[in-house]
Structures are given as C-alpha cells and as structure tokens.
Amino acid sequence: MALIRANRESIDDRFSVLGFTVRTDLPLFEIGLATDPELLKAENRSHRTTRNFFSTRLLAAGGDGRTAPGGREAVYLVPPAVVARFVGQPRLYFGVATYQDKDRNRPISVKAPDAGHMYVSLSGLTERGLRRTLGANGQGGNGHALVWGGDALAPATNGAGGRNGATNGNGHSNGNADTHAAAPYSDGYSDDLWEQGAGGAAPAPEAGAARPNGHASPATDGASPATGPDAGAGAPPATAQAWR
C-alpha cells in the first residue's frame, strides 16, 4: 500500500516550492498531477494537455536509503517549470501509483483523488513569484507522454462505474480510489423459489400475504433483504499533512 502527502497545503509567490513525500513498500512509484481530478482517469486522456496534466514517470522509492515503519520513503520536488504550467488554476490534484518492476502497464496499486481531497491550492501563485526560479526555457515540455499508471485500471474502472466518489451500478458511493464490482440484486428470498414451475409452487401459508408478483411468501425463510454500505458516508477532507 502506498501513502502520499503534499508537503504544503498551498503554494504562493512566497513559498512556491511544491513537493510530495511518498511511503511505499515497493521499489518504484509514479506521481500524477492534474488541474481536475477527472483528468487522472483513463477515459479522459484525450482532454489532457501539458497545461493541465503531468506525470513524473517512474521514480525509485527510498533511493537515498531512507526507510520508515510503513516502508520506503522518498521525497519528490516538482520542477518549477512544471509548476509554472499550472499558474492561474485554483487547485492541483495529485495521485500515486506503485510498481514492482518497470512495466508501467502493471501498477500494483493506484491512489487517485476526487474533488474533495488530495489537492494543493494554487490560488496565491503567480508567474511573477516563479520567475526567479525559472530558467530561460522554463516553459518547455518534459518530453513525457500524457499518461500515468492509473490509466492501466481503465477496464476495471469502467465496469464498476468510476472511482473517487462516482456512483456504482448499485447506487452506492465508492468514496475512494479502489474499484469494486456492483453487488448482484437480491430480494432476500431463496433462489429456489424462482426455479419452481407454476404447478410445483408451494401453497401460501395461512398467515402469509401474497406477493405483488403472484408468488407466495415462504413460510420459514427469515432472511432479511440485503443492504448495502451507507451511501452517505464520505471520506473526511484531507490536509497536506495527512497521509493518503
């Protein structure tokens, strides 16, 4: 499992250095940045530009020998030229993917943001504040394709109806970056009822009432209708100091 933390909740003209600390038990990781959390989803790749998206590509975790109780720990500082691309945007969202090897199509885990957490405020940042840290070619591209490890989860994401607070097919909210398959429908009664022929159905019990679909309610089945997780439960808002 990977954890990521922004080193500041916001950056501005006075403190314009943007950095992240990543803790993971795997050797490689990648950070994705976007001005909108939807841009970190594979289905929105066509909307990415160098002005709204950036990926670090593969980075070594704990390359300096640092270790922590939760695994290896690494600090990544975003180049000022990259930060300058996002000037004028209110927020910069971040996600992290971890890898066992150098195959970026096979991330072990992906932690992605939603609109309510895992972001850094850029509202106080202007180009003037970055000018002293930028070189003559500060606005140049980084040569990286506009992809990241989260794109490899597209098939699972599409089947579940989305991540990061999106709604599953069963109407419940995910609230996190993991994908879950929608639970099959159950009315609380045995499936054997639906497999009986019209002539083999059991007579209705004396105290039972007929069901609206014409089948008699079972006399001895005490199962209650299945219930799902509380759809109103949401993740608490995060701060830059909180591990995600």
Quote the pLDDT of residue 63. 56
Span 3-160 CATH architecture: Sandwich (2.60)
CB 149 within 8 A of CB 30: yes
Residues 165-196 pLDDT 10s: 333 333 333 333 343 334 444 445 455 544 55
Whole-model pTM: value is 0.61
b vs e for 60-94, b when ≥16 Cβ sit within 10 Å of the residue's Cβ? Answer: ebbeeeeeeeebbbbebebebbbbbbbeebebbbb
Rounded to an integer, what distance in angstroms lies between the CA atom of residue 29 and that of residue 59? 5
Quote the pLDDT of residue 100. 94
Rounded to an integer, what distance in angstroms lies between the CA atom of residue 26 and that of residue 101? 9
From 141, 132, 129, 111, select the one nearest 51 (Cα to Cα). 141
Hey, which residues does 19 pair with through a beta bridge? 77
**Which regions of the chain are under pLDDT 50?**
65, 136-143, 155-187, 189, 193-194, 198, 201-202, 208-210, 212, 215-238, 241
Residues 25-36 pLDDT 10s: 999 999 999 999
